[in-house]
Structure 1
Amino acid sequence: MHPTNCLNCETNLQGTEKYCPACGQKAATHRFTWSHFFHESWHAVTHTDKGILNLLRGLATNPGRVVSEYVEGKHKKYFNPVTFLLLCLGLFVFINSYLKTFVEVPGPDPAVLAQLKTERQKKMYVAQMERIAVANKFREKHPNILAMVGFPLEALVLWLFFRKRGRNYVELLIAVIFLGGFANLLFTVVGSPLLASTKGTSLYFIFTLLTMLMMSLYVAWGLKGFLSKERPISYWKPLLVNILYYVIWTALVTFFFLWYVMRSNFGIAIKKLVSELNK
């Protein structure tokens, strides 16, 4: 079927036009069949124009060039960065939920409860353990929210150090999304099976650090290529800045985690302090 108007944006079409001049959709359309469905699905994955395999290949072999080409105008060549990130995070949640990668938080310890003297202390302890479980579950189930908060912060840290490198904040944010998404994919493919197989052993912590180091090395590699637009940059500068970001991010997450878990104690401490000051 060759309509006179584009079925996507309703722009008037000439009889010889194969694509809409306004939105780029094919002029000729037809009803979906199983054959058409599988063809379109395979085309979306493998086609060199915006195919995700093309993006993965580029991010695996020359991530700096991929990000540079995208921010400099080659949008049709690559998969959308935000969509790519969400796909990577979705895979991360699915694989880690299936493998049960993360260490489970234990419930209230009966031995600790037995040592607490008052019912109020016991209730506070139980409430704190419940909040720890909630926070841990949130971290496992909603890495997309953490990423949406963390990546803008990472881009800000990079901009503060490399703002004279010819890249603005938004371009650095796009770089972080591309590189962070692929680094997250590396964690899912390489780190998750290792962590799942060593959970409960001393190797778990070691593999966690090694996986995080692998991700940092990859991101630094991509940033090196991306930031060398006007003049070359050494590999160590983006690596150290990226590690600095991880330190800042870990400190912030730890602070909010402790505040959430210990907020009752914080409230009591503040009340005592105010009471002492008013004496």
Structure 2
Amino acid sequence: MGRRYGLRGSAKGGKLRRRGRSARPPPMLPAAPLPAEAPETPAAPAPDACLNCAGTLLAGAGYCPHCGQPRPHRLSTAHVLHEILHVFTHADKSIFGFVGQVLTRPARVVADYLAGRRKRYFNPFQFLLLAVGVATVLAVQLHYYERIGEQVQLAMQAHGAPAAVLARVGQYFHAVGKFFNVWWLALMPLHALVAWAVYRRRLNYAESFFLLVIVGSVFQLYLILALVSVFLVVGLEPGSSTALLQATVYVGYLTWIGRGGLGLRWPRAVGSALVVSMLAGVINYGLNWLAFWGYVMHFRVPG
């Protein structure tokens, strides 16, 4: 028994001794040096990537499907001449082609643009800004609004207006001619609000604004033609305003677009065009009247 107990005890003690041994830690290896940071350089586009937007070019495609830029090539004299010729001969997207489109096919332009077929046309918003700028330059050079102011001065002088008031009349019409583009463009959101109220079943506000961009472009083209032909070539005196011309263009082209571009019946197309034109004219007349009488009759020079 004792031997058995001794064996057990020795075994137990051995087991205890084995458990009590401390494990040696593994040897520490030297830390590997960190790789040097590479300088940050923009990654070059892949050979099949667009150099303009870095989009992927389709095999065999001549243009980028994302931004429309042609595949890169070095400029040459032939390419430059082609681009210059393109402005005058390609009627799909040139500014001169767009003139013919808005004058003779406005309903198709509006219908295509609202349907998403926009790539074929010159940017209508950019065209309107250019047309307004040209009309403003012509009006300033011809002193169109200043000559209207002279007629107003004569009429007010006949009714006994004092010299200070007559001077402010001239200043007012000088400012109107100088900032005609700003004034006319500032009225467009109000006109678009009227168009939206009339065409709200067919158009949202942004589409109504675009509708007036097209009609406004037509008006500016006819205004440029009138300024050059009637007042510069023929030499006639300017009328009291351009309101009659704008009203005529609005009624005619809104009817045209309403029938051919929006699919309205003739009575609805004509009636909607008349309502928009009359309300736009009321807005123009009212704001012009407030600005004129507020400056001329109530403005006082300090000192």
Normalised by the size of structure 1, how large is the TM-score? 0.73
Q: Secondary structure of the residue that 1:170 maps to in structure 2?
A: helix
Structure with greater proportional helix content: 1
Superposed CA deviations along residues 18-54 of structure 1, whole A, max 9, x for unmatched, are: 2122211001232364x43342133134324322233
Counterpart contact for 1:151–1:173, Cα < 8 Å? yes
Look up the match of 2:64.
20
Map 1:45-124 to 2 at 5 A. Answer: 45-104=88-147, 105=149
Counterpart contact for 1:183–1:218, Cα < 8 Å? no
Which residue, out of 174, 177, 189, partners 2:225? 189
Give how far 1:155 is off: 1.0
Q: Residues 131 and 230 (structure 1 numbering): CA distance in 2 closer, same or farther, change over 3 Å?
A: same
Unmatched segments (≥5 aa) in structure 2: 1-45
Q: Secondary structure of the residue that 1:205 maps to in structure 2?
A: coil
Question: Is residue 148 from structure 1 mapped to residue 208 from structure 2 by the alignment?
Answer: no
The one-letter code matched in structure 1 to 2:295 is Y
The whole-number CA distance in structure 2 between the counterparts of 1:218 and 1:184 is 14
Moved more, 58-67 or 218-227: 218-227
- Aligned pair count? 246
Counterpart contact for 2:250–2:273, Cα < 8 Å? no
Counterpart contact for 2:187–2:284, Cα < 8 Å? yes
The one-letter code matched in structure 2 to 1:181 is S
Normalised by the size of structure 2, how large is the TM-score? 0.68
Give how far 1:231 is off: 5.2
Unmatched segments (≥5 aa) in structure 1: 117-121, 268-279
The whole-number CA distance in structure 1 between the counterparts of 2:110 and 2:273 is 15
Question: Is residue 237 from structure 1 mapped to residue 275 from structure 2 by the alignment?
Answer: no
Q: Secondary structure of the residue that 1:163 maps to in structure 2?
A: coil
The whole-number CA distance in structure 1 between the counterparts of 2:82 and 2:130 is 21
Look up the match of 1:277.
none
The whole-number CA distance in structure 2 between the counterparts of 1:213 and 1:17 is 48
The one-letter code matched in structure 2 to 1:28 is P
- What do you get for the CA RMSD once the two structures are aligned? 3.4
The whole-number CA distance in structure 1 between the counterparts of 2:73 and 2:97 is 26
Q: Secondary structure of the residue that 2:54 maps to in structure 1?
A: coil
The one-letter code matched in structure 2 to 1:150 is L
Q: Residues 41 and 254 (structure 1 numbering): CA distance in 2 closer, same or farther, change over 3 Å?
A: farther
The one-letter code matched in structure 2 to 1:244 is L
Superposed CA deviations along residues 209-265 of structure 1, whole A, max 9, x for unmatched, are: 653443233333344236633655242431242122112221112202322334446
Look up the match of 1:174.
210
Question: Is residue 29 from structure 1 mapped to residue 73 from structure 2 by the alignment?
Answer: yes
The one-letter code matched in structure 1 to 2:213 is I
Counterpart contact for 2:192–2:208, Cα < 8 Å? yes
The whole-number CA distance in structure 2 between the counterparts of 1:206 and 1:259 is 19
Map 1:246-257 to 2 at 5 A. Answer: 246-257=281-292
The whole-number CA distance in structure 1 between the counterparts of 2:243 and 2:287 is 19
